[in-house]
Amino acid sequence: MANDLTDKPKADGETYDDRPFHSDNLPPEVRAPLAPFEGAEPPSPKWFQDAVAQEPERGFVTSHGAKLEVLTWGELGKPGLLLIHGNSAHADWWSFIAPLLAKDFRVTAMSLAGMGASDWRETYRFTDFADDAEAVSRGTGLYDGGRKPIYIGHSFGGGQVFFAAMQRPENMHAAVLVDTGFGGPPPEALEERKKRMEQIRNIPTADRPSRIYPTVAAALARFRLMPPQPTDNLYIADFIARRSLKQVPMADGSGMGWTWKFDPQMWEKLDRSAMTSMVTGASPEPAAKDAVPMVHLYGDKSRIIESRRAGEPSVLAGRMREIEIPDSHHHVMIDQPLALVAALRTLLATWPD
């Protein structure tokens, strides 16, 4: 996930939280990793250039009245993979990973509702996300290979995959979670945040409340990864950041500017009751014969793993095999893209059948 704004209230008892927040108490290489480039693209290796040169089929699938952005690689008739990004991200987070999987699979990356070029909703529900994933899978031919698709989700997207695997096991062949944790803001934290936002609403600054930037370079200078982390692969961060922006009119009417694509009220509009009910055991789990095979890939430097090592409980522990990606923080596809591809290729060639 990536973003540049909003305060983060303290919320006790959260295993993991990838909400955007604003902090100046970060080193410059974490707070504004792209600022030194002043809008120029960082140099990138040939493998990356070759991967992103493989343009996907771009389109939309409608679910619950919302148009959902979809990017698809690979031939119809091959086994299907559905890739789901993290919070405040978009389908192009997979655009340098998916082409490297498309030789053997029909691969679709979707932008979740409220993110990327997908429509926003008045309320976001985990049940709707599960329906969206099924609609996208069918709408982009992921069933045409003769079996149900495998879902792969990173971070918040991994949470959607886990929910769908537990509540809609009939929709998928298997599930891979990539550095996925659970948490998010409890009701009291949301209330505190609402009060804080009311207090700062009328404080004039260069980019609040509209967060519209006059140039792409100005917007890129404010891009950062959330949760905060360093990264050596700035060419990937730049690629993702540029595709996180859309043009909108400047607030003062002076012309067109740039802002982030995602719905800034996503967390306030997220109904977490279905996920909470499932995690706390209030909702029944699928019978053993119907259970979806699941694997968790995680970065060895991830905040999720740090929290678990500190003794915080994990919903995933004991439910599935877990595989560590060395020298990686939370954003595994940025830190270790080729190691992630190698892990996925090996896993998908030998598992779950």
pLDDT tens for each residue of 260-283: 999 999 988 999 899 888 887 777
| Mean pLDDT (whole number) for 212-235 | 95
Beta bridge partners of 324: 298
| pLDDT value for 14 | 34
| Mean pLDDT (whole number) for 56-80 | 98
**Confidence class for position 23, pLDDT limits 50, 70, 90:** low
**Confidence class for position 238, pLDDT limits 50, 70, 90:** very high
More confident residue, 324 or 306: 324
**Confidence class for position 15, pLDDT limits 50, 70, 90:** very low
> What's the whole-number average pLDDT of the chain?
87
Q: pLDDT at residue 188 above 60?
A: no
Q: pLDDT at residue 17 above 70?
A: no
Q: pLDDT at residue 124 above 90?
A: yes
| Mean pLDDT (whole number) for 341-348 | 98
Q: pLDDT at residue 22 above 60?
A: no
Give me the percent of the chain exceeding a pLDDT of 70: 85
d(CA 94, CA 58): 13
Q: pLDDT at residue 10 above 70?
A: no
Q: Which residue has the tokens 């929910």?
A: 163
The pair of three-digit structure tokens given for residue 176, joined into one six-digit string: 């891979």
**Confidence class for position 18, pLDDT limits 50, 70, 90:** very low
**Confidence class for position 289, pLDDT limits 50, 70, 90:** low
More confident residue, 205 or 320: 320
Q: Directed axis angle between helix 156-167 and helix 126-139, to 10°?
A: 90
